[in-house]
Amino acid sequence: MLSSILASASSDKTLCLWDVAKGKLLRQFPAFQESVWCLTFCSDGKALACISRDSAIGLLDVTTGKELRRIGDARQGNSLIAFSPDGKTIASAPGDDNRTITLWELATGKEAMRFQQPPDPRSADAVLALAFSPDGRILVSSRRDGMVYLWEVASGKNLGQLRGHLGEVQALAFSADGRVLASGSADTSVLLWDVTGRTLISRVPSARLARHELESLWSSIASDDAIRARQALWELVAAAEQSVPFMKERLRPVGLVDAQRIAQLLLELDSAVFADREKASRELERQAELAEPLLRKTLAGDPSPEVRRRIEGLLSKLQGPVTSSETLRSVRAVEVLEHIATPEAHELLRKLAAGGAEARLTGEAKAALERLRSRPRLHD
């Protein structure tokens, strides 16, 4: 769909969809109050995000022309937008001298996370370009002095910066496998960057590691230091023959949710005994991913103020950057398996994808398998 439809916007406050092959107008959206000057399709082409002069992000249904949601407001000053490949998140940044990048959940329209590019003492700090990696795990941004920044979406941490351009970096794009980043600059150059940190070609050279080295790397991919974790991740990819059996020993599918136990814990949140309420909260926090649907259902049912306060506290911990070292390790381990992509790696991903549907590990494994099925084959 995306390859055959073109979206255009004009200073006359109109937004149009065109059939590229036939050169015909398919739809003209109702007139906006202000000029529309930034457009992007989501990955499946069913929705279109746009920014008008009021700087709020409008999410439009391509088929009906109706506005699905309005994200942010004039205070954000948005001028750049980029959809995550899964269509669940949108990144935005202001066009003025503001170095803030915001991630929004499309399902709710709520802010999920913020990134801050470092200040530039020599020039204005405006973010000039945004792009997600094909797997949505990395967001890249650029600024006027030619610097490019990489961000880990799960943790919200900076993965480093790329310096090489003499002018503003105005365009960013990843290769299909996510291992090479292209940046285009006002200095008339296009640079290719190896984001694996290990090779200038699309394949990572193989390596042999001792058992204690595998243990050390397994520890490192759980690190709060995102740069250290990413270096370890690519070393595990390079040692595929050893790392897949090693991870098979340590990764297990998440069990199905015990609805009866969760229901009992929710009742105990309203216990007259403080110690019981605290104990129930701690156990629910450990199972928060699996319990989330039941937590939200309880919250919607007008619980007592005490139960509401505790559930809202639990749910707030599920939003924004991942802080749990075990969760970070599992997310990064799935990335390792996806990059390795051998039959053995596929088998382990399938086992992990069979876990509890609400668990993040299950969702990450399912998404990885889907991307692997649709990934174009690269020639040797």
CA quadruple 2, 101, 361, 294: dihedral, nearest 10: -100
pLDDT for 201: 45
pLDDT for 83: 92
Can you read off the two tokens belonging to residue 303?
Answer: 């619980």
CATH placement of domain 259-316: 1.25.10
Residues spanned by CATH 1.25.10 within the chain?
A: 259-316
Q: How far apart are CA 281 and CA 254, in angstroms?
A: 20
Contact 91, 81 (CB under 8 A): yes
Can you read off the two tokens belonging to residue 260?
Answer: 């009866």
- Residues 347-368 have pLDDT tens digits of 999 999 999 888 889 999 999 9
Closest CA to 250 of 332, 144, 195: 332
Residues spanned by CATH 2.130.10.10 within the chain?
A: 5-194
pLDDT for 150: 95
Q: Angle at Cα 251 formed by Cα 240 and Cα 363, nearest 5°? A: 100
Q: Which residues contact 308 (CB under 8 A, 6 or more apart)?
A: 299
Q: How do the pLDDT tens digits run along the chain, 380 residues long? A: 456 888 888 777 788 889 888 889 988 887 666 777 788 888 888 888 888 765 678 888 888 878 888 887 655 556 788 999 998 899 988 766 567 889 988 877 888 888 888 876 665 667 889 999 999 999 999 988 888 999 999 999 999 999 999 888 999 999 988 989 999 999 999 999 998 876 644 456 677 888 999 999 999 999 999 999 999 999 999 999 999 999 999 999 988 778 889 999 999 999 999 999 999 999 898 888 788 888 888 988 889 999 999 998 888 777 778 888 999 999 999 999 999 999 999 999 999 999 988 888 999 999 999 999 987 654 44
CATH 3.40.1190.20 fits 5-194, yes or no: no
Contact 333, 252 (CB under 8 A): no
Instruction: For tokens 């080295």, name the residue.
Output: 213
Q: How far apart are CA 234 and CA 179, in angstroms?
A: 10
pLDDT for 351: 97
pLDDT for 321: 87
pLDDT for 347: 97
Closest CA to 101 of 111, 109, 91: 91
